[in-house]
Amino acid sequence: MNKVVSILESHPMFNKISHKHLSMLGEKSKIIKIDSGDCIYKTGDKSLHFYIVIKGVYEALDSRENKRWKKSEFLKAGDVFGDGGILEESTRYRSVLCNDSGELIQIPDSAFLEVIQEAERLTTVLDRTNKSKNLQFNEAHGIFEKSTQRITTFLDVARHPSTQKVIRHICRTLNLETQQPVLLIQLLERGGEVTLRELGNQSNSILAANTLPKNEHAMLAFIQLKIRLSEDDSGLPHLIRLLHLSKQHFPSIVIHVASQNYSKTVEECIRLSTISYVGINYKNIQHYHNCHFLNHLKSGIQSRIRVIQIINKNDPNPPRNEIESQLGLPIHGTLLTNPKSIPIPDIEFAEYEQKKRFTAQFRRIVREILGKRIGLVLSSGGAKGFAHIGVIQVLEENNIEVDCIAGSSMGSYIGACWAAGYNGKELEKLASEYKQRFSIFNLMTPSMRLRKGLLSTHKLAENLDKRLNGSHFRDLTIPLCVTATNIHSLENTFFTRGRVSAAVQASCSLPGICMPCEIDNETFIDGGVMDPLPIDFMEDLGIEKVISVSTVLTSEHNHINQLRLRRKQRNKNLLHKCSDFINTRINYFAHGNVFHTIMRSIEASQIRLVERDLLRSDVAIQPITSNNDWLKFNCPEKHIELGRESAEKHLHELKRLAA
- Dist. CA 642–CA 391, nearest whole Å: 9
Taking the CA atoms of residue 362, residue 363, residue 367 and residue 369 in that order, the dihedral angle to the nearest 10 degrees is: 30
Q: Report helix, strand or coil for 286.
A: helix
Query: Residue 204 is inside which H or E element, if any?
Result: helix 203-211
DSSP 8-state assignment for residue 515: P
Q: 194: closest CA among 341, 185, 123, 160?
A: 185
For residues 500 and 468, the answer to whether their CB atoms sit within 8 Å is yes
- Dist. CA 275–CA 272, nearest whole Å: 9
- Dist. CA 516–CA 378, nearest whole Å: 22
- Dist. CA 495–CA 60, nearest whole Å: 45
Instruction: Please list the residues that pair with 408 across neighbouring strands.
Output: 483
Query: Residue 336 is inside which H or E element, if any?
Result: strand 331-336
Q: Quick check: is 526 catalytic?
A: yes
For residues 388 and 643, the answer to whether their CB atoms sit within 8 Å is yes
- Dist. CA 180–CA 178, nearest whole Å: 5
Q: Quick check: is 90 catalytic?
A: no
Instruction: Please list the residues that pair with 621 across neighbouring strands.
Output: 549
> Which region holds residue 393: left if phi is over 0, alpha if psi is between -120 and 50, else beta?
alpha
For residues 228 and 221, the answer to whether their CB atoms sit within 8 Å is no
CB atoms within 10 A of CB 550: 29
- Dist. CA 566–CA 91, nearest whole Å: 83
Q: 32: closest CA among 106, 140, 111?
A: 106
Name the amino acid, one letter, at 393: Q
- Dist. CA 161–CA 310, nearest whole Å: 11
Q: What are phi and psi of 324, to 5 degrees?
A: -65, -35
- Dist. CA 21–CA 303, nearest whole Å: 36
CB atoms within 10 A of CB 11: 19
For residues 142 and 77, the answer to whether their CB atoms sit within 8 Å is no
Q: 37: closest CA among 321, 237, 276?
A: 237
DSSP 8-state assignment for residue 401: -
The answer to whether the Cα torsion of 486, 491, 495, 498 is positive or negative is negative
For residues 183 and 305, the answer to whether their CB atoms sit within 8 Å is no
DSSP 8-state assignment for residue 499: B
Q: Report helix, strand or coil for 136.
A: strand
273, 409, 509, 550: the catalytic one is: 409
DSSP 8-state assignment for residue 383: G
- Dist. CA 293–CA 329, nearest whole Å: 13
DSSP 8-state assignment for residue 329: S
Buried b / exposed e across 646-657, counting CB within 10 Å, b at 16+? bbbebeeebeeb
What are the angstrom distances between the C-alpha of 34 and each of 106, 196, 262, 527, 653? 11, 24, 32, 61, 48
Q: 520: closest CA among 546, 484, 567, 572?
A: 484
83, 526, 531, 613: the catalytic one is: 526
Which residues are annotated as catalytic? 409, 526
